[in-house]
Amino acid sequence: MSKTAQALIPDAADTSPAQELDHALRAASPAEVIEAALRAFGRGQVALVSSFGTESAALLKVMADVDPAITVFFLDTGWLFEETLAYRDVLIARLGLRDVRSVEPVEETLLREDPNRDLWFADPDACCRIRKVEPLARALEPFSAWINGRKRFQGGARAQIPVVEDDGPRLKFNPFANVSREEIEAIYGSARLPPHPLVASGYLSVGCMPCSSRTAPGEDARAGRWRGRTKTECGIHATKTA
């Protein structure tokens, strides 16, 4: 950890760096949280992870306003909608993002563990592991901190997320932890951000094609993810990155 980061954490002997930063940033705006991450670790040690999904443009807009050169990792699983890939390109151009890196699974792993491309059905946890969890862990190895877009209003395991938390050897910043759905909509409106193309078709949360479905009126926004299964997360937030 840098000397700057240590200076931001005055009582590290009694509490962890994540707890101290979380306490300090509990009422901070999303932009202030990102700025704090950059002050603590420097641009070269901070990455943002984005799915370029239905709510991703809001966080990317806030990040771009702070520093559009922050590294952005995009997990290209090989199962994404063409609309998501096109949306990624639109947002990169629209927001002036300077360092978006696609992260893909290892081909040898896919051939060994998912030769018929049906692992998503037989064992969705294993599919997420080889296509998302392991690739992201490799991508984050050189970094000291990462930023993501989870929100408490999404419920489930996300209902109590802190603003800053430990994630193995690095810290994880959740700048949108405290924001409301209305605040996200306000960011889209004020910045005139384009919606994800699939929102108009009823997809309120978009991941991989086989594991995403339309959401019925009155359902939770993430109800269409892994429909009919107990699975609610891909695993990148449940597994501490190495």
Give the residue numbers marked as catalytic.
234
Q: Does residue 62 contact residue 31 with C-beta atoms inside 8 Å?
A: yes
Structure tokens at 175: 């700048």
Q: CB neighbours (10 Å) of residue 43?
A: 13
Query: Which residues are CB-neighbours of 44 under 8 A, at least 6 positions away?
Result: none
Q: What is the DSSP string of 171-194?
A: EEE-TTTT--HHHHHHHHHHHTPP
Closest CA to 168 of 144, 194, 134: 144
Distance CA 54, CA 185 (A): 11
Q: SS3 for 208?
A: strand
* Distance separating alpha carbons of residues 14 and 1, to the nearest angstrom: 17
